[in-house]
């Protein structure tokens, strides 16, 4: 499999070559040159496979430059009941006939990002051991991504994580989850500022190409192709669990922010998985819902981006959306470049009067948005009707998913986090706190390890430099 850029300016690369990189040199995103098609016979065989075996079948088609035995070992080390709580890895819960929740949040940080990130940790370590290189991951987080990256990279050889977060701005649970890690290769940096200050520092450091190269700075952001492809697996797993045979179609409801999760659903559908609809759910930050309803993609400014009770979906633009538009245009890199020359300047593009917009439905997408009141009502309703407690993000998916539900088509709602992470909203909905999974009872009481810094680019560079010296 060769990889190309959505903007057409990258020479073809292998999976291993794009594994550690963020953006392509031309500013675009890496995409497989073609989608491998799954035959009916293959689907029939895959139906009975375990999660790791299914993951191998899918990943080996995309990561074909990693020797098969090595890839199989990496996958088997990653998807274990010890890390993900059950042999199913992503267990399916049936609320009533035809309505299901796919549990993606039973990894170490109780959010779906663990599924891809845990594999990424093992892939990175494998790759770096091969080349003898090292990697310093620099990131900014306001919640799930940072902790998921830290739990995936802790103790890994050749990798350090420098994670910036706004001092005192994350929930106590999220803060404790990150800061309680005592691993020597994990560096929590609390910044006196807001999330945007953290992100600005990451951008400034990454734009200093001399520093970046000398210190082997890398990222694990959601545009990483390996993360997308790892997420393709559970669409297949969920399909098999919710259906009796491969003639059936299903729809998936996906709580969306950066379009990473639902992009994996799009890839699964392009590979031939019988998906009727990909139901995209947003919160009040509805830039994606607006596009699928109107054909206008209008990224928001930071000032226009609202802080909501489903905070991991609070985005102003969706970084993976370019991948879908690449496919929608028939893989026309010139057109994508033209659209994103507008987006990169903060402007909108409008497909409403072009033939492209009528083609969107051929890809199975429908959408809707939710609100604080709707997600609280949904949490309460699901709890009262089925005695199942869901978190705020999953509630957005359930709310929009049920609005698009069709008779005779099983609906699978993706559970992207556990309610224990968002106890305030849960208490608002049902009047009591969610239960904590085993091992998390005393999280906030554990000793914490972090440094506090001003929002000063040079101070962060100095800190990274020092820590690399110390542990070199
Ligand atoms: C990251 C995240 C999302 C959004 O996923 P995308 O891949 O960015 O669309 C939804 N819910 C939770 C809990 C998340 O952590």
From CA 405, how far away is CA 428, in angstroms rounded? Answer: 27
What is the DSSP pairing of strand 186-192 with strand 217-218? Answer: unpaired
Domains of the chain by start residue, with CATH: 92-110+225-430 (3.40.50.1100)
pLDDT value of residue 271: 98
User: Catalytic one among 13, 37, 113, 421?
Assistant: 113
Taking the centre of ligand 1 as the mean of its atom positions, its distance from the CA of residue 260, in whole angstroms, is: 8
Question: Residue for token digits 């609320």?
Answer: 95
Whether this prediction's pTM lies above 0.85 is answered by: yes
pLDDT value of residue 222: 80
From CA 346, how far away is CA 331, in angstroms rounded? Answer: 23
Q: Ligand 1 pocket test: which of 102, 104, 105, 113 has the largest number of ligand atoms within 8 Å of its C-beta?
A: 113
| Ligand 1 pocket residues where CB is under 6 Å | 111, 113, 144, 222, 255-261, 312-313, 393, 416-417
pLDDT value of residue 316: 87
Q: Are 249 and 139 in contact (CB under 8 A)?
A: no
| pLDDT tens over the chain, length 472 residues | 999 999 999 999 999 999 987 678 888 999 999 999 999 999 999 999 999 999 999 999 999 999 999 999 999 999 999 999 999 999 999 999 999 999 999 999 999 999 999 999 999 999 999 999 999 999 998 778 899 999 999 999 999 999 999 998 888 888 999 999 999 999 999 999 888 889 889 989 988 989 999 999 988 878 899 999 999 999 999 999 999 999 999 999 999 999 999 999 999 999 999 999 999 999 999 999 999 999 999 999 888 989 899 999 988 889 899 999 999 999 999 999 999 999 989 999 999 999 999 999 999 999 999 999 999 999 999 999 999 999 999 999 999 999 999 999 999 999 999 999 999 999 999 999 999 998 899 999 999 999 999 999 999 999 999 999 887 7
Taking the centre of ligand 1 as the mean of its atom positions, its distance from the CA of residue 172, in whole angstroms, is: 20
pLDDT value of residue 25: 81
Question: Is 113 designated active site?
Answer: yes
Taking the centre of ligand 1 as the mean of its atom positions, its distance from the CA of residue 377, in whole angstroms, is: 21
From CA 401, how far away is CA 419, in angstroms rounded? Answer: 19
pLDDT value of residue 207: 84
CB under 8 A, 24+ apart: contacts of 445-451: 446/176, 446/180, 447/180, 447/182, 448/175, 448/176, 448/179, 448/180, 449/179, 449/180, 449/181, 449/182, 449/186, 449/188, 450/178, 450/179, 450/188, 450/189, 450/190, 451/187, 451/188, 451/189, 451/190
3-state secondary structure of 272: coil
pLDDT value of residue 362: 96
Taking the centre of ligand 1 as the mean of its atom positions, its distance from the CA of residue 39, in whole angstroms, is: 30
Q: Ligand 1 pocket test: which of 143, 152, 256 has the largest number of ligand atoms within 8 Å of its C-beta?
A: 256
């Amino acid at each position: 499999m060769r990889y190309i850029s959505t903007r057409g300016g990258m020479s073809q690369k292998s999976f291993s070559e794009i594994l550690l990189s963020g953006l392509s040199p031309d500013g675009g995103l890496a995409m497989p040159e073609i989608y491998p098609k799954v035959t009916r016979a293959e689907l029939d065989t895959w139906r009975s496979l375990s999660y790791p075996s299914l993951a191998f079948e899918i990943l080996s088609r995309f990561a074909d430059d990693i020797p098969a035995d090595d890839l199989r070992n990496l996958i088997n080390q990653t998807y274990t009941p010890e890390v993900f709580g059950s042999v199913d890895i992503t267990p399916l819960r049936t609320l009533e006939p035809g309505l299901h929740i796919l549990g993606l949040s039973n990894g170490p940080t109780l959010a779906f990002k663990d599924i891809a990130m845990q594999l990424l940790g093992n892939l990175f370590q494998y790759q770096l051991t091969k080349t003898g290189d090292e990697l310093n991951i620099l990131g900014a987080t306001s919640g799930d991504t940072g902790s998921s990256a830290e739990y995936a990279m802790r103790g890994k050889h050749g990798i350090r994580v420098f994670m910036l977060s706004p001092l005192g701005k994350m929930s106590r649970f999220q803060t404790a989850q990150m800061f309680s890690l005592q691993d020597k290769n994990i560096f929590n940096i609390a910044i006196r500022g807001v999330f945007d200050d953290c992100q600005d520092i990451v951008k400034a450091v990454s734009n200093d190409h001399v520093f970046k190269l000398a210190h082997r700075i890398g990222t694990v952001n959601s545009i990483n192709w390996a993360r997308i492809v790892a997420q393709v697996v559970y669409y297949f797993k969920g399909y098999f669990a919710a259906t009796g045979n491969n003639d059936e179609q299903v729809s998936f409801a996906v709580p969306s922010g950066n379009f990473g999760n639902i992009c994996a659903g799009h890839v699964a559908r392009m590979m031939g998985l019988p998906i009727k609809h990909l139901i995209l759910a947003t919160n009040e930050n509805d830039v994606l819902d607006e596009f699928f309803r109107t054909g206008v993609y209008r990224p928001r400014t930071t000032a226009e981006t609202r802080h909501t009770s489903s905070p991991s979906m609070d985005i102003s633009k969706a970084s993976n959306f370019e991948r879908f538009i690449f496919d929608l245009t028939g893989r026309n890199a010139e057109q994508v470049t033209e659209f994103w020359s507008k987006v990169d300047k903060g402007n909108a593009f409008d497909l409403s009067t072009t033939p492209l917009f009528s083609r969107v439905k051929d890809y199975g997408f429908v959408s809707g948005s939710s609100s604080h009141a709707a997600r609280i009502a949904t949490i309460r309703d699901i709890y009262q009707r089925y005695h199942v407690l869901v978190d705020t993000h999953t509630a957005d998916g359930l709310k929009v998913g049920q609005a698009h539900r069709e008779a005779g088509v099983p609906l699978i709602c993706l559970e992207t986090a556990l309610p224990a992470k968002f106890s305030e909203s849960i208490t608002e909905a049902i009047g009591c706190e969610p239960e904590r999974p085993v091992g998390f009872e005393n999280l906030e009481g554990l000793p914490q390890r972090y440094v506090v810094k001003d929002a000063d680019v040079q101070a962060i560079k100095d800190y990274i430099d020092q820590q690399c010296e110390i542990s070199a």
